[in-house]
């Protein structure tokens, strides 16, 4: 028996995302508390969003001071852009986790 699911009003089932583009999209990146980590993350963000403002980053050190959380607010223009940025960040040697 096959059931047909009707999406809620206003949801287009052909879209694979609920994000409307362009929009400001925050990405949280965590890495070891080392010199150059925040700057390196800004350089990666600039590769995918040339209008990214490095002064807009938010920094949060861990309680123990061993890790640094960096929030990058980029202008997302497509799902592909976000996927490529995520892949670049997760493959960066300084990065521990990307949210």
Residue range(s) defining the domain that contains residue 80: 23-98
In terms of Cα–Cα distance, which of 50, 64, 62, 56 is closest to 27?
56
Q: What is the pTM of this model?
A: 0.81
**CATH at residue 37:** 3.30.70.260
- Residue 15 located in a structural domain: no
- Residue 4 located in a structural domain: no
Chain segment 67-95, per-residue pLDDT in tens: 999 999 999 999 999 999 999 999 999 99
Distance CA(1)–CA(24), nearest Å, equals 43
- Residue 90 located in a structural domain: yes
Provide φ and ψ at 81, rounded to 5°. -60, -45
- Residue 9 located in a structural domain: no
Chain segment 3-39, per-residue pLDDT in tens: 555 556 655 555 566 889 999 999 999 999 999 999 9
Distance CA(83)–CA(6), nearest Å, equals 28
- Residue 29 located in a structural domain: yes
- Residue 49 located in a structural domain: yes
- Residue 84 located in a structural domain: yes
Total number of domains in the chain: 1
């Amino acid at each position: 028996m096959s059931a047909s699911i009707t999406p809620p009003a206003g949801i287009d089932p052909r879209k694979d995302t609920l994000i409307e583009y362009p929009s400001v999209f925050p990405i949280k990146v965590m890495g070891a508390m080392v010199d150059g980590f925040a700057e390196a993350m800004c350089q990666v963000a600039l590769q995918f969003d040339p209008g990214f403002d490095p002064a807009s980053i938010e920094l949060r050190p861990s309680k123990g001071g061993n890790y640094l959380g960096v929030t990058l607010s980029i202008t997302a223009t497509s799902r592909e852009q976000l996927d490529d940025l995520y892949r670049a960040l997760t493959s960066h040697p300084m990065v521990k986790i990307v949210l």
